[in-house]
Structure 1
Amino acid sequence: MFSSLELVFFFKQLHHLISSGISLYPAIELIYLDIGSNKLKKPLQLILSALREGESLSNILHSKLNVDLFITNVIKVGENNGELGQALNKACQYLEQKISLKNKIILALSYPAILFTFGIIIVTIVVRTVIPKYLEIFQSYEIELPTPTRILLKVYELFTSYWWNIPLVMIVTGLIVYLLFKKDIKMFLSKTSFSIPIYGTFKYYITLMNFLSNLGSLHNSGISIVKSLQLSIATTNNAFFKHQLTGVIQKIIEGEKLSIALWNTRFFPAIVIKMIMVGEETAKLDKMLLQLTDYLNSELEIELQRFIVLIAPVCMVFIGLFVIFIALALLLPTFNIVKVLHIN
Structure 2
Amino acid sequence: MPIFNYKAKDKYGVPIEGIMEAAAASAVASRLSGMGYTPVSIAEEETSALNNLEDFLSKYTSVKTEEMIVFIRQLSVIIGAGVPLLESLEAVYDQVASKRFKKIVLNIRREIEGGSSFSDALAREPKIFPPVFTSMVKAGEKAGILSEVLERLANLLERDYDNLQKIKSATRYPVIVIAALVIAFIIVVTFIIPRFSALYSAFKTELPLPTRILLGINFVIRNYFFAIIAGISVLAYSIKKVLQTERGKTFWDRFALSVPIFGILVSKLSLARFCRMLAAMLKSGIPVVEGLSITKNTVDNRIISNVISNIEEEVIRGGSLSEPMRGSKIFPPIAIQMVAIGEKAGALEGMLEKVADYFDRDADYMIKNLTPLLEPLLILMLAFLVTLLALGVFLPMWDMVKFIKS
TM-score normalised by the chain length of structure 1: 0.92
Amino acid at match of 1:151: I
Contact 1:2–1:43 (Cα < 8 Å) also in 2 = no
**Which of the pair has the greater relative contact order for Cα pairs under 8 Å at 6+ separation?**
1
Give the corresponding residue for 2:174.
112
Segment of structure 1 superposing worse, 319-328 or 160-169: 160-169
Inter-partner Cα distance in structure 2 for 1:180 and 1:31 = 39
| Aligned residue runs from structure 1 range 67-216, under 5 A | 67-169=129-231, 171-172=233-234, 178=241, 182-216=245-279
Listed as ranges, the matches of 1:11-90 within 5 Å are 11-35=72-96, 38=99, 40-64=101-125, 66=127, 67-90=129-152
Task: Spell out the pairing of 1:257-272 with structure 2 (5 A cutoff).
Answer: 257-272=320-335
Q: Identify which range, 172-181 or 322-331, moves more after superposition.
A: 172-181
Which residue of 1 is the match for residue 24 of structure 2? none
Alpha-carbon displacement from aligned partner over 1:169-226 (angstroms, at most 9, x marks no partner): 4554565674599322221111111011122121111111121111111112111111
- CA–CA separation in structure 2 for the residues paired with 1:39 and 1:317: 47
Q: Distance in 2 between matches of 1:149 and 1:128?
A: 13
CA contact (8 A) 1:70 1:235 kept: yes
Give the distance between the partners of 2:153 and 2:181, measured in 1 at CA.
41
CA contact (8 A) 1:78 1:84 kept: yes
Asked if 1:276 is matched to 2:339, the reply is yes
Give the match for residue 304 of structure 2: 241
CA contact (8 A) 2:243 2:249 kept: no
The one of 229, 238, 244 aligned to 2:292: 229
Gap change, CA 1:121 and 1:94, over 3 Å in 2 = same
User: Which residue is 2:7 aligned to?
Assistant: none
**Residues 261 and 36 of structure 1, relative CA distance in 2, 3 Å threshold:** closer
Is the alpha carbon distance of 1:12 and 1:172 closer, same or farther for their aligned partners in structure 2, counting shifts above 3 Å?
A: same
- Tell me by how many angstroms 1:21 deviates: 0.7
Over residues 100-122 of structure 1, what are the superposed CA-to-partner deviations in whole Å (9 max), with x where a residue is unaligned?
00011001100101101111221
Does the 8 A contact of 1:214 with 1:232 survive in 2? yes
User: What secondary structure is seen at the aligned counterpart in 2 of 1:162?
Assistant: helix
Aligned residues: 343
- Distance 1:249-1:54 versus aligned 2 partners, 3 A rule: same
Over 3 Å counting, the alpha-carbon distance change for 1:182 and 1:154 in structure 2 is same
* Paired letter, 1:70: V
TM-aligned CA deviation for residue 149 of structure 1 = 1.3
1:2 partner SS: coil
CA contact (8 A) 2:86 2:109 kept: yes
Q: Which has the higher helix share?
A: 1
Q: Say if 2:185 and 2:385, in contact at 8 Å, map to a contact too.
A: no
Superposed CA RMSD: 2.2
Aligned residues of 1:17 and 1:27 also touching (Cα < 8 A): yes
Note if contact 1:43-1:65 (Cα within 8 Å) is conserved in structure 2. Answer: no
Cα displacement (A) at 1:35: 4.8
Query: 1:3 is matched by which residue type in structure 2?
Result: K
Kindly tell me: are residues 206 and 235 of structure 1, through their superposed partners in 2, closer, same or farther at Cα, counting changes over 3 Å? same
Counterpart amino acid of residue 41 in structure 1: K
- Say which structure is richer in strand: 2
Q: Name stretches of at least 5 consecutive residues in structure 2 with no aligned partner.
A: 1-61
Q: TM-score, normalised by structure 2?
A: 0.79
Asked if 1:320 is matched to 2:383, the reply is: yes
Deviation digits for residues 15-54 of structure 1 (CA, Å, limit 9, x no counterpart): 1111111011001111223556545432222222222122
Give the stretch that moved more between structures: 235-244 or 126-135.
235-244
- Partners of 2:96 and 2:131 lie apart in 1 by 26
Q: Deviations over 1:55-79 (max 9, x none)?
A: 2222333322522322222212111
Asked if residue 9 in structure 1 is aligned to residue 58 in structure 2, the reply is: no
* 1:35 to 1:211, Cα distance in 2 relative to 1, 3 A: closer
Cα 1:265–1:171, aligned 2, differ >3 Å: closer, same or farther?
farther
- Stretch of structure 1 that moved more, 166-175 or 267-276: 166-175
